[in-house]
Amino acid sequence: MSVPDFDLDPDRVTRQNSGMEKIICIDSHTGGEPTRVVVAGFPDLSGLSLPAAVERLRGEHDHYRKAAVCEPRGNDVVVGALLLPPVNPHSLASVIFFNNVGYLGMCGHGTIGLLATLQHMGRVTPGTYAIDTPVGTVQTHVHGHGWVEVDNVPAHRYAAGVEVHVPGYGQVVGDVAWGGNWFFLTDAGALPLCRAGVQELTTFALAVRYALRTHHITGSAGAEIDHIELMGAAQTHGNSGRNFVLCPGGAYDRSPCGTGTSAKLACLAADGKLLEGKRWLQESVIGTVFEGRYRLVGDQLIPSIRGQAHVVAETILLLSPSDPFCWGLE
Ligand code: PYC
**What is the whole-number distance in angstroms between the Cα of residue 77 and the centre of ligand 1?**
10
Nearest-atom index, ligand 1, CA of 259: 2
Q: How far apart are CA 232 and CA 264, in angstroms?
A: 12
Q: How far apart are CA 162 and CA 113, in angstroms?
A: 33
The helix/strand/coil state of 215 is coil
Name the nearest CA neighbour of 209 among 198, 199, 201. 201
Query: Amino acid identity of 288?
Result: T
Alpha helices in the chain (DSSP H): 10-13, 50-60, 62-69, 108-120, 198-214, 258-270
Work out the pLDDT band at 330, boundaries 50, 70, 90: confident
**What is the whole-number distance in angstroms between the Cα of residue 18 and the centre of ligand 1?**
36
Q: In sequence order, which residues have a C-beta less than 8 Å from that of residue 13 and are 6 or more positions away? A: 22, 316
Contact 312, 29 (CB under 8 A): yes
**In the prediction, which pLDDT does 6 show?**
43
pLDDT at 3 over 80: no
**What is the whole-number distance in angstroms between the Cα of residue 114 and the centre of ligand 1?**
13
Residue 115 backbone dihedrals phi, psi, to 5 degrees: -70, -35
Nearest-atom index, ligand 1, CA of 180: 2
Between the alpha carbon of residue 109 and those of residues 204, 218, 236, the distances in Å are 24, 24, 21
Report the percent of the chain where pLDDT is more than 70: 95
Which protein residue's CA is at the shortest distance from atom 8 of ligand 1?
257
Q: How far apart are CA 266 and CA 78, in angstroms?
A: 26
As a whole number, mean pLDDT of residues 108-128 equals 98
Q: Identify the residue with better confidence: 193 or 15.
A: 193
**Residue pLDDT, tens place only, 263-309:** 999 999 999 999 999 999 999 999 999 999 999 999 999 999 999 99
Alpha-carbon torsion, ordered 270, 105, 50, 57, to 10 deg: -160
**Residue pLDDT, tens place only, 220-263:** 999 999 999 999 999 999 999 999 999 999 999 999 999 999 99
Which protein residue's CA is at the shortest distance from atom 5 of ligand 1?
107
Contact 94, 48 (CB under 8 A): no
Nearest-atom index, ligand 1, CA of 253: 7
**Residue pLDDT, tens place only, 144-179:** 999 999 999 999 999 999 999 999 999 999 999 999
**Residue pLDDT, tens place only, 185-219:** 999 999 999 999 999 999 999 999 999 999 999 99
Contact 140, 130 (CB under 8 A): yes
pLDDT at 13 over 60: no
The DSSP code for 179 is S
Work out the pLDDT band at 16, boundaries 50, 70, 90: low
As a whole number, mean pLDDT of residues 58-65 equals 98
- Across the strands, what pairs with 305? 150, 292
DSSP string covering 269-307, please?
HHTT-S-TT--EEEE-TTS-EEEEEEEEETTEEEEEEEE
Q: How far apart are CA 154 and CA 137, in angstroms?
A: 10
Active site residues: 107, 257
As for ligand 1, residues whose beta carbon falls within 6 Å of it are: 33, 79, 104, 107-109, 247, 253, 255, 257-259
**Residue pLDDT, tens place only, 128-150:** 999 999 999 999 999 999 999 99
